[in-house]
Amino acid sequence: MDTKGTKNVAKNSKAYHDYFIEDKYEAGIELAGTEVKSIRLGNVNLKDSFCIIKDGQMYVHGMHISPYEKGNIFNKDPVRPRRMLMHKREILRLFAKVKQDGYALIPLSVYFRGPRVKLELGLAKGKKLYDKRDAAAARDAKREMDRTMKTRRAGGY
């Protein structure tokens, strides 16, 4: 993801805990005006969201965009399925991977690129419980190593 001209709004950190992210893609989202205003305020949650491909179209389910306070009658359902905007060829390639290899499409982050709302998708494979434990143990070991190195540099020993 190119960082120039982008403003990160929300990140799905649970996805990195539950899945191995094999590849990343960028897609647009079809939104209503009040949803864009709510996203601009940071009122979006990707925690339990996922993408499905149906009839050659890609949809994101479970993405919660809180209703815009000043939107009254124009507000949409906060968890409605939203259409993703990608090239047809890319959607078909992802569909083949998801069907054949047991991958899932998981939203990783929502950000603005210029005036447009973009969604970063991850082609993900689910982690088993022992994989999660290994990742946690490696993270703890790295944290302990960093802590030891920091105290040595500070002249603690």
The 10s digit of each residue's pLDDT in 19-67 is 888 889 898 898 878 888 888 888 888 888 888 888 888 898 988 888 7
Q: What token pair was written down for 143?
A: 């944290």
| Displacement of CA 75 from its chain's centroid (Å) | 23
Angle at 13 between CA 10 and CA 17, to 5 degrees: 165
- 0.75 surpassed by pTM: no
Is-contact 79 126, C-beta < 8 A?
no
CA dist list (Å): 113 to 3, 65, 124, 155 = 9, 18, 24, 45
Instruction: Read off the pLDDT of residues 94-136 as tens digits, 9 standing for 90 and up.
Output: 888 888 777 888 898 889 888 888 899 988 887 777 777 888 8
